[in-house]
Amino acid sequence: MPYQPMTSFSFATSMQKALSELKAVTGADFPSQQLAVLMDIAANPDTPIGEIGKRLDMTTSSASRAVAALANWSWTKKTGYGLVEKVEDKFESRRKLVRLTQDGRKLVDLMQQKFEKERHYGR
């Protein structure tokens, strides 16, 4: 089930809570741009990096760097988070599509559950 944005929270509050949750689960600080890319991939699985950039109003190179940091590799030669993966497009082998890994899906599901609980119980 794709991620559904929470409409009852302000964007800034939701982003702050999501970043805190990511840090609590992964122990890492995520830039808000990486969180936005992660949530976009959750909502739009099997999508090319260029389309992610267009939807989020960022350059393809910025979207690509964010995807790299969320994957198992990174432009900075640091180990990535393993939350997304690139796969070959079945119809156009030169094109790569991005999707959540199993760990990425678990993390997004956990965040969504916590937001739903907070929205329902007001905590």
Q: Tens of pLDDT along 36-78?
A: 999 999 999 999 999 999 999 999 999 999 999 899 875 666 7
Which CATH number does 32-121 carry? 1.10.10.10
Query: 70-97 in b/e burial notation, b at 16+ Cβ within 10 A?
Result: bbeeeeeeeebbebbbbeeeeeeeeeeb
The pTM (predicted TM-score) of the whole model is 0.77
| Average pLDDT of every residue of the chain | 81
- Which pLDDT value is given to residue 80? 79
Q: What are phi and psi of 52, to 5 degrees?
A: -60, -50
CB 62 within 8 A of CB 33: yes
In Å, what is the CA distance from 108 to each residue of 5, 21, 42, 53, 94? Answer: 11, 10, 7, 20, 28
- Which pLDDT value is given to residue 20? 78
